[in-house]
Amino acid sequence: MSNIIFRALAVLALGGSALTMSAQGWPAAYNGVMLQGFYWDSFTDTQWSYLEKQSDELSRYFDLIWVPQSGNCNSNYNQMGYTPVYYFNHNSSFGSESQLRSMIQTFKQKGTGIIADVVINHRNNLGVGGSWVDYPAETYKGVTYQMLPTDICANDDNGQTKTWASQNGILLSSNNDTGEGWDGCRDLDHKSANVNKCVKVYLDYLLNDLGYAGFRYDMVKGYSASFTADYNSTAKPKFSVGECWDGTGTIQNWINGTKVNDVPTSAAFDFQFRYRVRDAINNSNWSTLGSQDMVINTPAMRQYAVTFVENHDTEYRSSTAQQDPIKKDTLAANAYLLMMPGTPCVFLKHWQAYKPEIKSMIEARKLAGISNQSTYLAIASNAKYYARYAQGTRCQLLCELGDTQSITLAGANATKYVEILSGYHYKYLLSKDAECAWISQANGEFTEPFKTKLVAVSQTDGAQIVYTLDGSDPTATNGTKVASGTELTISSSETLKAGLLVNGKVTDICTREYSFKAFAPHTATVYVQADWSPVYFYIWDSNNNTQLNGNWPGKVISDKKTIDGADWYYQTVSINKNDYYFNIIFNAGSGKPQTADITRVTEDKYYIAHNNGSNITYEDVTDQMTAGIQEVVVDEPAADAQVYDLQGRRITHPSHGLYIQGGKVRYSK
């Protein structure tokens, strides 16, 4: 069955069972994989428009993508969303509300749900001309919603808020916080009828207006789990997961606290799973993986365990914010994550760094049929190595970690498995009853030739592989027959299909699509028509965020070109690698207005920018400036040439600027 048909059936199956699943907090026997689509300060990589551009690739591997809190935080600059201000305004650091809606809808059409980050433990104030207990009045569907000072917990900030409020004649709630406090914003009193009403409308808006598939609740230890039960029983999300940053017992108690009619309404992140992986790797003791976590400790809880090995709070951010990262063996950590039961959540930075390997791991997981309720068994363990298999609906997936060369499988296990993937400190093996063909290199776009291995996973000795490279289905008479383990070198765009050949019959065709994109070094020039002076360009690139124009605010741009009678400031950057790009902010100087981040520039761009005194807005007019253009050439036109301006009007010899001749844009000095 092709990947596309399989995915379509999966989407239909999910949609048909959504009503029964929604009351369970997380679906039973769920075989999906989630991506955390951001990291700390991922303002370039998590732009809604950029995520949407990757939808074909991401939706092929991820069933859910968790994105940052998308509500406006009273600023479109450098806000991760964890100090929310607006519930119904979703223009954020990651893009406009229209871009958010488009991204959510595009993924939804491809069978991937977007998970909203819901931050309702606390809320920030308006911050402009008001006090720290002022909240915006927002009108949605003709009804105005506004939180009040009386919606703030009485003991917020250990009583400091109440002291300040009393001095200013302001009343807070009479109710204390029902969970842990946090002094970054005002803690909301969820016992308040007004808070309850606002939150429920907000959640309905996220699901049924913006189109999110479910929720990731931030800091759920900040308020009683009973409120999550109330909110979810009203909103009925298909997926709900809470950030209960604690030990296994506390996490399980929180999940049980979300029950309605004795059924949990939310899953939770399995932090102990993450800690076990971190300790095993950082302490070079793989036997630590045998310790208790939520997936291991209570089989009944596996359905509600969302596993992970790194996130935005644990990752290495900088030399001054080192956090608590995994220090090595990132691929081995992901190999373990993606073979275990629970719902695995892959970290964006890991996906970006090891995309081909993680793709193949996800393919192996789904081929084996591993779900969030699968069983497992450890079959080898000591400080040097660890081996454990998970039982899927089709076969077993065995993961070996650490010094894999020292692992010797004994008894029936010695001949039970076939190796399909390997890398530093990890191996994947499938049990032979899978009866399938396997292609080691996952789908993707490539710039250089690579090798991919064809493997016959079968209980029949000497089973072969039949493959084709033209997209046709291999049969006993169509394709090339090779032994299991044969490596192919792929150097051009191909559709590789491989089938298992047993007793003259080809079954279980595996398909991979490979494309090649040649890269030619070039330059990219950014032009801006600005109504203020001086104009600064602040530029940083994808090479470890190297600043091309120095520290903020960058440098004053003096280079200008006159195009069609207008002056355009410009700067040119060399693009010397396939994955290289740069980002830019136009600004009026330090402490003065600026644009939002303009990200991932790799080609000539044209912008018209306006300084309104508080910020700088801009419009991308590249399409208008380059319509019908094939390339730009710097030269002078021939005396008898037919020359046109950028509006398509026939002109005589241009004195300077851009003109069109023969389908090319030329620049006359």
Q: What digits encode the pLDDT tens for the residues 210-222?
A: 999 999 999 999 9
- Residue 11 has a pLDDT of 40
pLDDT at 18: 35
Q: How confident is the model at residue 662 (pLDDT cuts 50, 70, 90)?
A: low
Domains, the chain, in order of start with CATH, read 3-269 (3.20.20.80), 377-516 (no CATH), 522-622 (2.60.40), 627-669 (no CATH)
How far is residue 216's CA from residue 218's CA, in Å, rounded to a whole number? 6
Buried b (16+ CB within 10 A) or exposed e, 75-85: ebeebbbbbbb
pLDDT at 439 over 80: yes
Q: What's the mean pLDDT when you consider all of the chain?
A: 90
Count of residues in the chain: 669
pLDDT higher at 474 or 293: 474
Evaluated on CA atoms 285, 274, 431, 457, the torsion sign reads negative
Q: How far from 462 is each of 344, 411, 453, 465, CA to CA, in Å?
A: 35, 21, 16, 10
**Local confidence band at 666 (pLDDT 50, 70, 90 cut-offs):** low
Angle 625-630-634 (CA atoms, 0-180°, nearest 5)?
80
CA–CA separation, 51 and 71 (whole Å): 17
Rounded mean pLDDT, 475-485: 97
Mean of the pLDDT values across residues 258-272?
96
pLDDT given at position 537: 98
DSSP code of 565? T
Query: Residues 396-428: pLDDT tens digits?
Result: 999 999 999 999 999 999 999 999 999 999 999
- The pLDDT, as a whole number, for residue 15 is 37
Distance between CA atoms of residues 32 and 22, nearest Å: 15
pLDDT value at residue 634: 56
User: Is the omega angle on the peptide bond into residue 344 within 30 degrees of 0, that is, cis?
Assistant: no
Query: Which of 294 and 257 is assigned the larger pLDDT?
Result: 257
CA distance 528 to 609: 7
pLDDT of residue 379: 94
User: Tell me, what's the pLDDT at 564?
Assistant: 81
Which of these ranges, 121-130, 590-599, 624-633, has the smallest mean pLDDT?
624-633
Q: Is 543 left (phi over 0), alpha (psi -120 to 50) or beta?
A: beta
Q: Read off the pLDDT of residues 35-67 as tens digits, 9 standing for 90 and up.
A: 999 999 999 999 999 999 999 999 999 999 999
300 confidence band (pLDDT: 50, 70, 90): confident
- Which uninterrupted H or E stretch holds 51? helix 48-53
Residue 117 has pLDDT above 90, yes or no: yes
Please report which confidence band the pLDDT of residue 22 belongs to, taking 50, 70 and 90 as the band edges.
very low
Q: Nearest-CA neighbor of 35 among 352, 330, 281, 267?
A: 352
Is the peptide bond preceding residue 637 cis, with omega within 30 degrees of 0?
Answer: no
Report the C-alpha gap between 388 and 669 in whole angstroms.
69
Res 292: pLDDT: 79
Hey, what are 610's tokens?
Answer: 């306006």
183 has a pLDDT exceeding 90: no
Residue pair 211/48 in contact (Cβ under 8 Å)? The answer is no
> Residues 498-521: what's their mean pLDDT?
94
Asked whether residue 562 carries a pLDDT value surpassing 50, the answer given is: yes
pLDDT average, residue stretch 305-313: 96
The whole-number pLDDT of residue 20 equals 36
Q: How confident is the model at residue 283 (pLDDT cuts 50, 70, 90)?
A: very high
pLDDT of 32 strictly over 90: yes
Query: Rounded distance, CA 33 to CA 37, Å?
Result: 12
Res 131: pLDDT: 79
- Residue 10: the pLDDT is 41
Comparing 168-172, 339-343, 641-645, which segment has the lowest mean pLDDT?
A: 641-645
